[in-house]
Amino acid sequence: MKTLLLRMEPIVWLLFGAGIMVGTLLLPGYLLTVTLAGPLGLLPDGALAYDRVYGIASNPIGRLVLLALVALPLWKGAHHTRALAVDLLGHGADAPVGSLLYAIAAVGSVLGILAVLAL
């Protein structure tokens, strides 16, 4: 199991780095718009209307952005949680915890891909 994690390390680091970029650049703006600006009435009427949001999300570029917002932060969280588990539990817990966390991130990514493709 440990050798599999070591072989997957470059792929995990790629997804982790992309998750940091998405989590830092795109996710805060999305969350502020949807959870704060919308309810406070700071957006124009119809900005978050279903037809408009569906039109953006069904566009190929919109689908890629939506997929990045769903899948990549899962890998970032999995990698950070793995590092925390190693710090708290020691290196003996690295293989089982890392495998579980990356499996959860992979399943979440596949479900995110299926959800975005179903739009």
Residue-wise DSSP of 42-76: -SPTTTT-HHHHHHHHHSHHHHHHHHHHHHHHHHH
pLDDT tens column, 99-114: 898 899 999 999 988 9
pLDDT digits (tens, 9 = 90+) for 31-89: 888 888 888 888 888 888 889 889 988 889 989 888 888 888 888 888 888 888 888 88
| Contact criterion met (CB below 8 Å) for 86 and 94 | yes
Q: Is 102 left (phi over 0), alpha (psi -120 to 50) or beta?
A: alpha
Confidence class for position 1, pLDDT limits 50, 70, 90: low
Q: How confident is the model at residue 2 (pLDDT cuts 50, 70, 90)?
A: low
Q: Which domains does the chain have, with CATH numbers?
A: 2-117 (1.20.1300.10)
